[in-house]
Amino acid sequence: MDQRISFLSLAVRDLEASRRFYVEGLGWTPDLEVEGDVVMIMVGEHVVLSLWDREHFQAEVGTIAEGDGVPPFTISHNVATEAEVDEVLATARAAGAEPVHEAQPREWGGYTGYFADPDGYRWEIATNPGPIGHKVLP
């Protein structure tokens, strides 16, 4: 099995609300849309972020676990400078993200903050001064 991922698919409760957040709020461009079902956005050279209507998701994947708390994953978006981290968090807030946690220095040397998308999925906006941090910047 090659060491790569092709799609990250998020189950979303309100596809239109998710579309508004990512497309109108963050300014991203969909590559493929199926009304009421899915919105697919290229987020890497060979990587797609797929916003998948929750009912369609459950019909194929299974009933989703419920409960209070945060989802068991985060998506990070890395940038080159601390000022850019703050700018992206401001963009997310303007797009309606709630909550937005202001960035802070981390013990491993980065500067990171989080925002939640309309389903509460956590995005970390980050600088990372280490070697792997350089590998993820285009």
- 8 A C-beta contact, residue 21 and residue 96: yes
Task: Pick the closest to residue 92 from 111, 118, 67 (CA basis).
Answer: 118
Q: Binding to a second copy by residue 32, rule CB under 8 A? A: yes
Q: Between residues 16 and 114, which has the closer beta carbon with respect to a second copy?
A: 114
Would you tell me how many other CB atoms lie within 10 Å of the CB of residue 97? Answer: 20
Binding-site member from 6, 24, 81, 109 for a second copy (CB under 8 A): 6
Instruction: Tell me the pairing of strands 47-53 and 32-34.
Output: unpaired
Q: Binding to a second copy by residue 5, rule CB under 8 A? A: yes
Question: Where on the chain is the footprint of a second copy (CB under 8 A)?
Answer: 1-11, 26-29, 31-32, 40-49, 54, 57, 61-79, 88, 91-92, 114, 119, 121-122, 124, 126, 130-132, 135-138
